[in-house]
């Protein structure tokens, strides 16, 4: 029986964010397809799917035409090619971001990911050692709990701290946020990964490989292009609009303009890279970041790589490679949180280091009224020695996303952390240093002597030096469309300043502000109906604000690593201040402040708009 493979290209419509499609043809053709029909922004229900299963024999000449001629599927096109690989059919819908009409200006082109190559080396090396175990896949969280007896994040955090210590040459101390992200565009990528997954008990498997090294060293670009076009067909269904846009972006890429990483998205390419660039240690090209930790400033050899590249490659090749790379590379960025926690995955997903607490929350949230406000959770997967939770990538499909991370609640420490401090406190010199860096007079005499503080002391101090204690949330960080990251907002204390920050973040665009405002009102309603919310203490969770130039804006609840269920029958109000033992988190205090601030920002932006209209009229 002749082996044949059809690849399915899905053009993503404005109401469809991402689609991962592939087809396995091996004598008998099986097509599975699903279209997102939902045009509502915030609703994510299973009813939003329309699924179909089609079986035909190889000789059935109507296969392609049936598919493409059907008006319902006019955005699906089928291309045929020869391949012996069976590819999995996976189609997923996603709640849409709210569409608005404005188009923010862009001064610079962004779109790549920064990368700490060094760390990746270590992680990838360790994952190589564990290669035999790599194909383990956990479905649901139960098995993971057995696999990972303790929260893997602690181990990874420890690894980063150790690395940092080694790096600073035995100084032995972490400084401010050194093991944390500070907004550089980056993502963990393995040097050569083969991730096989089995989902939902089926035998469907897929493989992808993402090289860590930069595409500048590609030898056989033209040949690769051919292969890549095949590869892309099995990919994530990017829209033509996006491709075109990215092609345009390339023209705007200038040396030194922003932060880029070109990763190799194709298995063959990846192999080429590895064979041709054994000396390469980093693929990151970090040109700028408003705030940049030293731990990520490893772009020194990038300049020489680029120069070497320029000598040996024509501009045409250069553009081709970047275009190709960009098409596969989303604009993923980790704005806050712990370094080493995330890996970019395929199919519009990100992988976050497994944490039992978070996985349990996500399990519950997937059947809760809050589901439309939470990234879709797809269970867990083991890569190398770690287990990860699979989350919908909230930046997938966005170009030059503008992001704001607001940490919610009137406190960011758990009650147990306070209790722990009273009993057996671990002293943290890294936290002491972070504290001193912001305010040298903050530590007590004793703390100065110890050169260390307890974690809960640090977290409490952090809360009082930000709007957390007073407004019930703080802006952890903002990334603008040019890729610049600002984290100074954490020092904001008043609502008026938050409003200013909102205006800055949205560039006073009314439609974006309104979209955020209505999304938060909808969230507020959903929280009222949420069993999850009622029965959990939500600590350290963030609202991720995301919009892009194409006028899409939405807000998502993320980070449930410190969100814990309450004892039976205890329910929280979430809108009153915390008193020890109450477990109140003040989440709704934060939400109310945010809504108030957005209302103020809308008023300001409206009057600004009226003023400018008036000025225009008087000039005319």
Ligand X SMILES: Nc1ncnc2c1ncn2[C@@H]1O[C@H](COP(=O)(O)OP(=O)(O)O)[C@@H](O)[C@H]1O
Q: Does 108 bind ligand X (CB under 6 A)?
A: no
Judged by CB under 6 A, the chain residues 142 through 171 that form the site for ligand 4IP are: 157
Beta-bridge partner residues of 188:
343
Q: Does 117 bind ligand 4IP (CB under 6 A)?
A: no
CA 548/CA 533 separation, integer angstroms: 29
Q: Does 335 bind ligand X (CB under 6 A)?
A: yes
Q: Does 177 bind ligand 4IP (CB under 6 A)?
A: yes
Q: Which two tokens stand for residue 463?
A: 């809360």
- Member of 100, 341, 551, 554 binding ligand X (CB under 6 A): 341
Check if the beta carbon of residue 271 is closer than 8 Å to that of residue 335.
Answer: no
- Member of 337, 384, 586, 590 binding ligand X (CB under 6 A): 337
Three-class secondary structure of residue 231 per DSSP: helix
- Member of 117, 540, 586, 590 binding ligand 4IP (CB under 6 A): 540
Q: Does 406 bind ligand 4IP (CB under 6 A)?
A: no
- Member of 321, 361, 544, 594 binding ligand X (CB under 6 A): 544
- Among residues 421, 417, 450, 420, which one has the least CA distance to residue 433? 450
Q: Which two tokens stand for residue 519?
A: 């999304």
- DSSP type of residue 294: G
CA 26/CA 57 separation, integer angstroms: 9
Check if the beta carbon of residue 458 is closer than 8 Å to that of residue 435.
Answer: yes
Q: Does 96 bind ligand 4IP (CB under 6 A)?
A: no
Q: Where do runs of H (alpha helix) occur along 329-414? A: 356-365
Q: Does 338 bind ligand X (CB under 6 A)?
A: yes
Q: Does 186 bind ligand X (CB under 6 A)?
A: no
Q: Work out the end-to-end distance of the chain between its first and last CA atoms, rounded to an integer number of angstroms.
A: 75
Number of chain positions touching ligand 4IP (CB under 6 A): 13
CA 501/CA 508 separation, integer angstroms: 10
Least Cβ distance, residue 214 to ligand X (angstroms): 23
Q: Which two tokens stand for residue 305?
A: 């790589």
Q: Does 462 bind ligand 4IP (CB under 6 A)?
A: yes
Q: Does 459 bind ligand 4IP (CB under 6 A)?
A: yes
- Member of 542, 551, 554, 597 binding ligand X (CB under 6 A): 542
- Member of 12, 156, 395, 418 binding ligand X (CB under 6 A): 395
Sequence length of the chain is 620
CA 171/CA 162 separation, integer angstroms: 11
- DSSP type of residue 338: B
Identify which range of 186-194, 269-277, 291-299, 455-463 contacts ligand 4IP by CB under 6 A: 455-463
Q: Does 348 bind ligand 4IP (CB under 6 A)?
A: no
CA 576/CA 192 separation, integer angstroms: 50
What values do phi and psi take at 204, rounded to 5? -65, 130
| Residue 462 binds which of ligand 4IP, ligand X, none (CB < 5-8 A, kind-dependent) | ligand 4IP
- Member of 117, 379, 561, 590 binding ligand X (CB under 6 A): 561
Q: Which two tokens stand for residue 431?
A: 């936290």
Q: Does 442 bind ligand X (CB under 6 A)?
A: no
Number of chain positions touching ligand X (CB under 6 A): 21
CA 408 to chain centre: 18
Q: Which two tokens stand for residue 136?
A: 């383990």
Query: The tokens 């599927």 sit on which residue?
Result: 73
Identify which range of 45-53, 387-395, 488-496, 587-595 contacts ligand X by CB under 6 A: 387-395
| Residue 455 binds which of ligand X, ligand 4IP, none (CB < 5-8 A, kind-dependent) | ligand 4IP
Considering beta carbons, is residue 134 or 490 the nearer one to ligand 4IP? 490
SS (H, E, C) 257-272: CCCEECEECCHHHHHH
| Residue 375 binds which of ligand X, ligand 4IP, none (CB < 5-8 A, kind-dependent) | ligand X
* Site residues, ligand 4IP (CB under 6 A): 157, 177, 180, 336-337, 412, 434, 455, 459, 462, 540, 561-562
Binding site for ligand X (CB under 6 A): 333-338, 341, 350, 375, 391-395, 403, 405, 542, 544, 558-559, 561
């Amino acid at each position: 029986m002749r082996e044949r493979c059809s690849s399915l290209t899905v053009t993503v419509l404005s109401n469809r964010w991402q689609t991962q499609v592939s087809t396995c043809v091996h004598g008998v053709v099986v097509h599975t397809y699903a279209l997102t029909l939902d045009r509502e922004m915030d609703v994510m229900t299973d009813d939003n799917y329309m699924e179909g299963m089609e079986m035909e024999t190889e000789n059935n000449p109507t296969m392609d035409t049936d598919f493409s001629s059907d008006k319902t599927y006019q955005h699906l096109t089928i291309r045929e090619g020869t391949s012996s690989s069976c590819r999995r059919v996976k189609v997923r819908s996603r709640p849409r971001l709210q569409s608005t009409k404005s188009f923010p200006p862009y001064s610079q082109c962004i779109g790549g990911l920064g990368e700490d190559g060094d760390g990746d080396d270590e992680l990838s090396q360790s994952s190589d050692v564990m290669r035999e175990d790599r194909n383990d896949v956990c479905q649901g969280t139960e098995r993971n709990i057995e696999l990972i007896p303790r929260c893997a994040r602690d181990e990874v955090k420890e690894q980063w701290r150790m690395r940092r210590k080694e790096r600073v040459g035995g100084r032995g101390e972490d400084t401010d946020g050194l093991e944390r992200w500070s907004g550089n565009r980056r993502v963990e990528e393995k040097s050569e990964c083969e991730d096989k997954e089995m989902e939902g008990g089926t035998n469907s498997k897929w493989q992808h490989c993402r090289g860590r090294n930069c595409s500048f060293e590609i030898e056989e670009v033209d040949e690769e292009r051919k292969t890549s076009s095949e590869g892309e067909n099995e990919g994530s269904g990017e829209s033509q609009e996006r491709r075109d846009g990215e092609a345009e972006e390339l023209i705007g890429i200038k040396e030194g303009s922003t932060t880029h990483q070109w990763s190799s998205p194709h298995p063959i390419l990846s192999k080429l890279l590895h064979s041709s660039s054994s000396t390469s240690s980093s693929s990151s090209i970090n040109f700028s970041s408003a705030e940049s930790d030293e731990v990520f400033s490893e772009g020194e050899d990038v300049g020489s790589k680029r120069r070497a590249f320029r000598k040996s490659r024509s501009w045409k090749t250069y553009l081709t490679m970047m275009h190709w790379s960009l098409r596969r590379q989303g604009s993923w960025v980790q704005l806050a949180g712990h370094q080493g926690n995330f890996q970019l995955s395929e199919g519009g997903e990100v992988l976050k280091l497994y944490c039992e607490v978070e996985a349990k929350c996500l399990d519950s949230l997937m059947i809760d009224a809050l589901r439309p406000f939470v990234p879709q959770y797809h269970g867990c997967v083991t890569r190398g020695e770690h287990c990860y939770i699979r989350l919908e990538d909230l930046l997938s499909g966005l170009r030059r996303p503008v992001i704001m991370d607001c940490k919610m609640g009137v406190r960011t420490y758990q009650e147990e952390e306070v209790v722990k401090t009273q009993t057996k406190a671990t002293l943290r010199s890294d936290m002491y240093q972070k504290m001193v860096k912001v305010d040298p007079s903050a530590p007590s005499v004793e703390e100065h002597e110890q050169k260390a503080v307890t974690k809960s002391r640090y977290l409490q101090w952090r809360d009082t030096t930000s709007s957390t204690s007073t407004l019930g949330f703080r802006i952890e960080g903002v990334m603008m469309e040019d890729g610049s990251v600002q984290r100074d907002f954490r020092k904001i204390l008043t609502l008026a300043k938050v409003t200013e920050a909102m205006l800055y973040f949205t560039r006073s665009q009314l439609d974006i502000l309104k979209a955020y405002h209505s999304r938060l009102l909808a969230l507020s309603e959903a929280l009222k109906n949420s069993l999850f919310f009622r029965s959990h203490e939500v600590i350290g969770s963030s609202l991720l604000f995301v919009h892009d130039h194409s006028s899409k804006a939405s807000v998502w609840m993320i980070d449930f690593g410190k969100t814990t269920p309450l004892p039976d029958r205890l329910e929280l109000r979430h809108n009153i201040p915390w008193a020890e033992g109450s477990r109140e988190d003040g989440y709704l205090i934060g939400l109310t402040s945010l809504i108030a601030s957005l209302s103020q920002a809308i008023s300001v932006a409206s009057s600004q708009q009226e003023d400018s209209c008036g000025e225009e009229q008087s000039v005319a």
